[in-house]
Structure 1
Amino acid sequence: MPPPETFSDSAAFLVSQYLKAAATPNNTLTGWSLEDRDPHVIEKLLPFFGGVYRHYFRVKTDGWEHIPAEGKVLLIGSHNGGWAAPDTVMMAYDWFRHFGTERPIYAQMESRMWRVWPALARLATQVGALRAHPQTALAALRQNASLLIYPGGLKDVFRPHALRHKIHFGGHQGFIKLALQEAVPIVPLISYGAHSTLFILADVYPVLQRLHHRGIPWPWGIDPGTWPIYLGLPWGLALGPLPNIPLPVQLHTRICRPIFFDRYGDAAAHDKAYVDECYHRVTRLMQLELDRLVEEEKGQQNDD
């Protein structure tokens, strides 16, 4: 039996896989296929992310008993921490720690990643990333795989620091329609600390949008969807949705109780009033859970 992977072995493997992904043709690892997820790659990356989990972010986590031991669930999260999204990565590590790498789970990722950072997108595809599209969501759930969605997308992950303790889905209700259509429970994910791994001062996207309407082209010809001004590593002051190195802030992640609805099926998914009702119920319950987590953490800090 080969010796277990060490942190340094796993880090070297991460670098080599990234370089391979960078050299991969554009028509492979596109985020459209469930078959690109590779449990072997995930296994070899776990020691590296385990070290980051224990020593860099010093993660506290709870609520994993709310995920059933088998079957599919629709995980819905509040997105935090810029492109690094440290709570997402640490929750993924915890999933594999609890359920192993063979239990299928996928996460929808912003499709623009395949254009602006294709090497990272192709690497993430091997860990289970899919393009954020209804087609990939349906494909995953109909293969009895669990699926992670961040409805707020880029505007959520780059929301200003003052909104760090707010559920910020921006009215996006596609995940509700998906849950109703596929009759799958929603399991909310929340966290504390991840949105303090950088300090987002403002999002000036509306200003740039007005300039674009007056004829100024988008950088690289891509509408970024957000344009944050933030303080963080490695830039100091960053203008735009630049990749960031998260600060070593302790994270507390939490899996909340599953949310079930009274009605499921196509009729429920196409009932606008019912979809609105379910959406507001989910966001309200998630905000209550997040408020509770924030109060717990502040109380603990005061005790210390």
Structure 2
Amino acid sequence: MKLNNSSTPEKGWSLDERDPQVIASLMPYWEWLYRHYFRVKTDGWHHIPSQGPMLLVGSHNGGLASPDTAMMMYDWFRRFGTQRLTYGLMHPNAWAVNPSLARLAEQTGAVRAHPKMAIAALEREASVLVYPGGAQDVFRPYHDRHKIELAGRKGFIKLALRQEVPIIPAISVGSHETLFVIGDCYEQAKQLNEWGIMPWIHNVDPQVFPIYLGLPWGLAFGPLPNIPLPIPIYTRICPPIVFERYGRKAANDHAYVNACYNLIVTKMQQELDQLVSDAKDNNPF
């Protein structure tokens, strides 16, 4: 499926760029990171249905590297194979900032974070992975590393209600310790940008402007790419969350959408709190 009129797919508007051969070629590298660098421990994969569309909702961690995302992708492919359709919604800024990396991400299943793409994927009976918290989540301060941050974004709730698909939370511990986010100075950076003192790179508003300690920069200012530290990562796929009502009427009910959103945040936080406890019991850090 291509949602543009050209014969050349562009910037995440195609479901057909996903390439199982490219995914298979990356598996050995992911496996090394999984087994030797991050020493991943995982559970809960029995909660994934054997077939049918679903919405996997994750919490982003660890800066732009977000290593838990790659490790969950590796787990998915090694358990279900490269042919089972799964797509991840990716922010449009990725194509503007790093086209080459965005192209590789497309080949592993990334598509533009737009309702049309998510709906098209679900109608193909595919699984769709979404991280609603976005930049605010992936660069949340270190002291909030064990806090679910979905940034108040409720589009994924409306999507699940309209398409009548279950939401399956995907959480992790450890990934947000692969760098140390001190704080965010976005408002100050935005003011400097408005004054013309500090233009945005590629004219893309980053939405956050973190200060963090990490490799390779030491002390970094702004959403710079990072090399994650080799911290153990624990991932968990949580039980599906099913709502009482579905359909367009439910998706258009503002109060009901808010209630569903609050339920998701509460459930995910409970699961994360338990995972933090389990991780400390297994390997204190």
**Same-fold call, TM > 0.5?**
yes
- Is 1:119 the counterpart of 2:100? The answer is yes
In structure 2, what is the Cα distance between the partners aligned to 1:218 and 1:244? 19
Contact 1:29 1:125 in 2 (8 A): no
SS in 2 for 1:79: coil
- Is 1:67 the counterpart of 2:48? The answer is yes
State the one-letter code of the partner of 2:65: A
Deviation string, structure 1 residues 88-147 (Cα, Å, up to 9, x no partner)? 000000000110000000001111111111110001000000111111111111111100
SS in 2 for 1:138: helix
Contact 2:53 2:123 in 1 (8 A): no
CA displacement at 1:298 relative to structure 2? 2.0
Cα RMSD over matched residues? 1.4
- Is 1:280 the counterpart of 2:262? The answer is yes
In structure 1, what is the Cα distance between the partners aligned to 2:150 and 2:230? 26
- Is 1:57 the counterpart of 2:24? The answer is no
- Is 1:254 the counterpart of 2:260? The answer is no
Q: 2:167 aligns with which of 186, 204, 224?
A: 186
CA displacement at 1:301 relative to structure 2? 3.6
In structure 2, what is the Cα distance between the partners aligned to 1:249 and 1:70? 33
SS in 2 for 1:36: coil
Q: Percent of pairs identical after alignment? A: 58
In structure 1, what is the Cα distance between the partners aligned to 2:89 and 2:146? 22
Structure 1 range deviating more: 229-238 or 247-256: 229-238
CA displacement at 1:205 relative to structure 2? 0.7
- Is 1:203 the counterpart of 2:194? The answer is no
In structure 1, what is the Cα distance between the partners aligned to 2:283 and 2:227? 25
Partner of 1:89: 70
In structure 2, what is the Cα distance between the partners aligned to 1:94 and 1:191? 13
Partner of 2:202: 220
State the one-letter code of the partner of 2:236: R
TM norm structure 1: 0.88
TM norm structure 2: 0.94
Question: Greater helix percent: which structure?
Answer: 1
CA displacement at 1:76 relative to structure 2? 0.0
- For these two proteins, the number of residue pairs brought into alignment is 277
SS in 2 for 1:201: strand
Partner of 1:234: 216
State the one-letter code of the partner of 1:181: R
In structure 2, what is the Cα distance between the partners aligned to 1:93 and 1:188? 17
In structure 2, what is the Cα distance between the partners aligned to 1:202 and 1:248? 22
User: Where do 5+ consecutive residues of structure 1 fail to align?
Assistant: 1-26
Partner of 1:23: none
Contact 2:96 2:202 in 1 (8 A): no
Contact 2:137 2:150 in 1 (8 A): yes
CA displacement at 1:208 relative to structure 2? 1.6
In structure 2, what is the Cα distance between the partners aligned to 1:210 and 1:183? 42
State the one-letter code of the partner of 1:294: V
Deviation string, structure 1 residues 188-240 (Cα, Å, up to 9, x no partner)? 01001000011111111122223334444323322111111111111111111
User: Where do 5+ consecutive residues of structure 2 fail to align?
Assistant: 1-7
